[in-house]
Amino acid sequence: MSDSLGKHDGKQDQLRQLVEEGVARALQNQLPSLQSQIVQQVLEALPAVPSEPAQLDSNAASSGALVQAVSAIHAGSTQKEILRALLDAGSGYCSRIALFVIKAGAATGWQSRGFADEDPVKDFALDLTIGPVTHAYQNRTATPGNIAEMGSEFIDRFGRPANEQVLALPLTLKDKVAALVYADGGETGKLEADALELLVITTSAWLEVTSLRKHAAKDEASASRMESASVQTVASFSDPFAAHAPRHTAARAAEPEHAAEVVEVAAHAGAAAAPAVATDPLAGLSAEDAEVHHKAQRFARLLVDEIKLYNQAKVAEGRRNKDLYDRLKEDIEKSRGTFQKRYGNTAAASGDYFHHELLRSLAEDDISVMGANFRR
């Protein structure tokens, strides 16, 4: 009995071996086709993924929209036009955006986009001591945060964005935060921080450029205003929010301490004006030649101010490493050529005002920071 069972088991083992070999040969022959079918079925089950060219087209479209937004800001010729363009352009990268003017230590609403009603934004007193607003104001940097950090009064007035994320951005003019831009995603949650930061930085720079150009144009038009213009350089930036006087800050702006500051500035300016006339190096020139010299001096200041404005990082690094000219050579020589073209064949050519302005303003009266390649 045991012998017959052993023979049966042996036959089963042989049969199993034959079947396994047959199945292995069949799988080997069909494996490529089977693998292809599995891959195809998995791909069909996956969601559609955009091809690389389509993604590139999308990125290009996004970049194009940002370029158009910057161009719209640069198209503004007045400060109000520029600020309105900022809000219009910024509304393409968030659902709600508002600009708050900072005066006498208080921030108040100016204009907005995307809010259900713009009136509540106007003259709303933004608390500068809480959340992302404080950080943006004190550190001059774009600061994200949560709507809860904006305070109950703000939330009661404007409500909460769907994702509760907000962004505060400082708009700086002449190294001071002149306004704060608030943005959030509203009901859609749309909030593109990088694009908004770029637009605010662009606006700050363009406001300063237009201010410099406006001052230069006024000086070119009338040299007789030179004395009054020199007094105005104490506050050389024209305040875009001069007409904006919120009710709750009007009384504060008229406090005696502010009046005392104005009187003190005027007194210093008046005291400095008298000796300036006596030591005027142009006193012996004709009125016509003196006017040309004054215009050349102011044009040189404008050109160097623009170099500094658009190359702030390079200026700081160049002064620190004493190679300022090498870092800014292209800009310096281009501006030098512009100056020479306008005043190189005039009575002001002998003054070499562009060279002197480079040393005075760009190098801060330290020629060594210009580096060895700067011509003395």
Please report the pLDDT score of residue 367 as a whole number. Answer: 92
Q: Which two tokens stand for residue 343?
A: 């005043």
Half-sphere exposure of 371 (CA within 13 A, CB side): 17
Query: Which sign, positive or negative, has the C-alpha torsion 314, 315, 321, 322?
Result: positive
Structural domains in the chain plus CATH codes = 55-211 (3.30.450.40), 286-376 (no CATH)
Model confidence at 41: pLDDT above 70: no
pLDDT digits (tens, 9 = 90+) for 50-94: 444 545 455 555 778 888 888 889 888 888 999 999 999 999 999
Q: Please state, for a pLDDT cut of 90, what percent of the chain lies above it.
A: 37
Q: What is the pLDDT of residue 274?
A: 41
For the chain, the distance separating the N- and C-terminal CA atoms, rounded to the nearest angstrom, is 118
Question: What span, in angstroms and rounded, lies between the C-alpha atoms of 92 and 78?
Answer: 22
Separation between Cα atoms, residue 32 and residue 40, nearest integer Å: 12
Mean pLDDT value across residues 139-156:
92
Residue 136: CB atoms within 10 A of its CB come to: 24
Contact in structure between 95 and 81 (CB atoms under 8 Å):
no
Exposure string for 281-290, b = 16+ CB within 10 A, e = fewer: ebeeeeeeeb
Overall pTM surpassing 0.85 (yes/no): no
- With 90 as the cut, is the pLDDT of residue 328 above it? yes
Distance from C-alpha of 9 to C-alpha of 282, rounded to nearest angstrom = 123
* Overall residue count recorded for the chain in this entry: 376
Decide if pLDDT at 3 tops 70: no
Q: Does 133 have pLDDT greater than 50?
A: yes
pLDDT category of residue 154 using cuts at 50, 70 and 90: very high
- 9: confidence class by pLDDT, cuts 50, 70, 90: low
Beta strands in 81-136 (DSSP E): 96-103, 106-113, 125-126
Instruction: Tell me the C-alpha distance between 291 and 222, whole Å.
Output: 9
Tokens 């400082």 correspond to 170
Ramachandran quadrant class, 124 (left: phi over 0; alpha: psi -120 to 50; beta: rest): beta
- Minimal CA–CA distance to 73: which of 168, 194, 184, 195? 195
- For residue range 216-229, list pLDDT tens digits in order: 666 666 544 444 44
pLDDT at 89: 92
Q: Which of 344, 361, 359, 365 is nearest to 296 (CA)?
A: 344
In this predicted model, what pLDDT tens digit does every residue of 269-310 receive, in sequence order?
344 444 444 456 777 788 888 888 989 998 999 899 889 888
Q: In what order do the strands lie in the sheet with 143-146?
A: 125-126, 106-113, 96-103, 176-184, 165-173, 143-146
Whole-number percent of the chain with pLDDT over 70: 67
